Amino acid sequence: MFVIFGATGRVGRSTAAALRHAGHAVRAVARDPSQCEALTRIGCEVVRGDLDDEASMHRALDGAVAVQMLCPVPPQEPDPAAAMRNTIDTAARVLRAHPHLHVVALSDYGAELDADTGITMLFHYLEAAFRDAAPRLTLLRAAEHMQNWARVLPAALATGRLPSLHHPIDRLFPTVSAHDVGSVAAQLLSDGPARDGVRVVSVEGPRRYAAKDVARVLGEASGCDVVALALPRDQWEPTLSRAGLNANHAKLIVDLYDAQNAQRIDVEAGVGERRFGTTELREVFDALVQANNAR
């Protein structure tokens, strides 16, 4: 039995679907099982569970041989970093009680860095906690998800300007479709753990893009003229605040992009394995534009 936490998210759904396609038994864990109708249709067992509820996690792991762990940043919390660290601590305590499990933990590019990387620092914390708790551990570090551009896509289509925190707009950066992350995670779960030590795998898409390329692809997908706009640094926090983020969450994102623009965040050189997805940005944007137009 393969257990998927975060099964209602893009990555979790893709992992579950890939495992079911390969004929594996899958248990999808969600706070609200009613959101898992699609997973039920493909043969997943769906159970209620919460990463902040140890008892529900233990129940979800009953009879499992492997588990995919995703600890998301909770944007609704006043202090998202503290809340995510608490979730990680809870998950680590649970995993320590199930040492036989192969754990595939979703992490980020740059998680090896121990300072000044914003949200990525939380994945540094996750990796350290899980290394201590799970003796059969695989870390899957993913580049920035292509689907993250959905947050600014409506404004870009309305104004013809795509605001970017990537500076300069002609600098290439790694990115990957959430679907490809899920597919690679399913492969790693099927593979089983490394014989010795922690397995580290990094995944990104088939090519790298600059913000100006992202704008061009969005224009092609929408049939509109779109240009990239490097959002001035002093407008980052006010813009994020207007988007509904509290000050603590905004600071995590600002620190993250400062680190990215300083070229500190990338695949860790010489460490682990590298995988490359097959999904192009145009394919992702075609779906995002279609969803936007359907509103």
pLDDT tens profile 255-283: 999 999 999 999 999 999 999 999 999 99
Mean pLDDT within 139-146: 98
Q: How many CB atoms lie within 10 A of CB 194?
A: 16
Q: Can you give the pLDDT at residue 284?
A: 97
CA-based R_g, the chain, Å: 19
What is the rounded CA–CA span in Å between residue 222 and residue 160?
11
Confidence of residue 253 (pLDDT cuts 50, 70, 90): very high
Q: Can you give the pLDDT at residue 29?
A: 95
State yes or no: pLDDT of 242 exceeds 90: no
State yes or no: pLDDT of 294 exceeds 90: no
Confidence of residue 295 (pLDDT cuts 50, 70, 90): confident
Over the stretch 105-128, which tens digit does the pLDDT of each residue have?
Answer: 999 999 999 999 999 999 999 999
Q: How many CB atoms lie within 10 A of CB 190?
A: 14
Q: Can you give the pLDDT at residue 35?
A: 80
Instruction: Give the range of the structural domain holding residue 148, as residue numbers without chain letter.
Output: 2-293
Confidence of residue 244 (pLDDT cuts 50, 70, 90): confident
State yes or no: pLDDT of 150 exceeds 80: yes
Confidence of residue 34 (pLDDT cuts 50, 70, 90): confident
State yes or no: pLDDT of 14 exceeds 90: yes
CATH number of the structural domain spanning residue 77:
3.40.50.720
What is the rounded CA–CA span in Å between residue 77 and residue 29?
22
Over the stretch 184-210, which tens digit does the pLDDT of each residue have?
Answer: 999 999 999 988 889 999 999 999 999
State yes or no: pLDDT of 75 exceeds 90: no
Number of domains making up the chain:
1
Confidence of residue 147 (pLDDT cuts 50, 70, 90): very high
